[in-house]
Amino acid sequence: MRLENKIAIITGAASGMGEAMAYTFAEQGAKIVATDIQTEKLNVLVATIKAKGGEIIGIKHDVSYRKEWFENVIPETLSAFEKIDILINNAGISISHQFEEQNEDIWAKAYHINMNSVMLGMQAVLPHMKSKGGSIVNISSIAALTGMAGPGVYTATKGGVSAITRAAAVDFGAFGIRVNAINPGYILTPMSEPHLSNQQYKDYLFGVIPLKAYGLAQDIANAALFLASDESRYITGINLPVDGGTTIM
């Protein structure tokens, strides 16, 4: 097992990529702390993993609030499992508006959920990883690496995630803490599928994706597993596109 006896906090774990990561990490021996604001879906995830023999707790969690990190998530994690080895900052939102229609409220919402949460999560786990090392994986986007029409605020916040990943990798390296980012491309999830299934949009995207296929949540989970595990012990500060080649076009 690649994560045996590792303790992993995964945000946004109730659906999509976070859900796939929770199942994959549990199968590889990790004990899971799954957080999300979608409590009904979170409860299903917890019950399913427990039924398969995995160890997991679920925590209702708004990632954009410092208090919830420091007074809920971290204490409950330590109470249940006594340590923290892995943090997956996965929770995020996608907001798409024409650039001239974006305003301060939209930017503030996207910033707090997509980027501020990453900073808070890293700050929260840092004291508990300093003595023994750890792995942090931040979920960014190919929007951080290329220009995209429409989601300017999303692009800006994901660019921030990619940048703060590099900065944290430098700051945390002396403690044996690795910090990496994954940059998903066009991934089929319950949230994206209605949009990506549109035939006209699909025809266009398959023209810019060299592998001529959408990614799956499991593809992101597999990349996160590698970066969380000791197999990537000498890798830190990278932004890893998992995008079927989209960013090389």
Q: Is 201 a catalytic residue?
A: no
Which one of 154, 201, 204, 214 is the catalytic residue? Answer: 154
Domain borders along the chain are 7-186+216-248
User: If you ran DSSP here, which 8-state letter would residue 29 be given?
Assistant: T
Q: What is the pLDDT of residue 147?
A: 80
- Enumerate the β-bridge partners of residue 7: 31
Q: What distance in Å separates the CA atoms of residue 51 and residue 22, rounded to the nearest whole number?
A: 14
**Rounded percentage of the chain residues whose pLDDT exceeds 90:** 86
Is the pLDDT at 38 greater than 70? The verdict is: yes
**Rounded percentage of the chain residues whose pLDDT exceeds 70:** 98
19, containing H or E segment: helix 16-27
The more confident residue out of 96 and 84 is: 84
The two structure tokens encoding residue 4: 């045996």
Is the pLDDT at 239 greater than 90? The verdict is: yes
Residue recorded with tokens 């199968």:
27
- pTM of the predicted protein model: 0.97
- Beta strands 134-139 and 177-184 are parallel
10, containing H or E segment: strand 7-11
For the chain, the straight-line distance linking the first and the last C-alpha, in angstroms and rounded, comes to 36
- Enumerate the β-bridge partners of residue 195: none
Is the pLDDT at 97 greater than 90? The verdict is: no
Q: pLDDT digits over 133-155, tens only?
A: 999 999 999 999 998 766 788 89
pLDDT-based confidence at residue 185 (cuts at 50, 70, 90): very high
Q: Where are the alpha helices (DSSP H) in 136-191?
A: 152-172
Q: Looking at the domain 7-186+216-248, which fold is it? A: Rossmann fold (3.40.50)
Average pLDDT over residues 216-245: 98
Q: What is the pLDDT of residue 193?
A: 87
Residue 72, phi then psi, degrees to nearest 5? -120, -65
Q: What is the pLDDT of residue 150?
A: 66
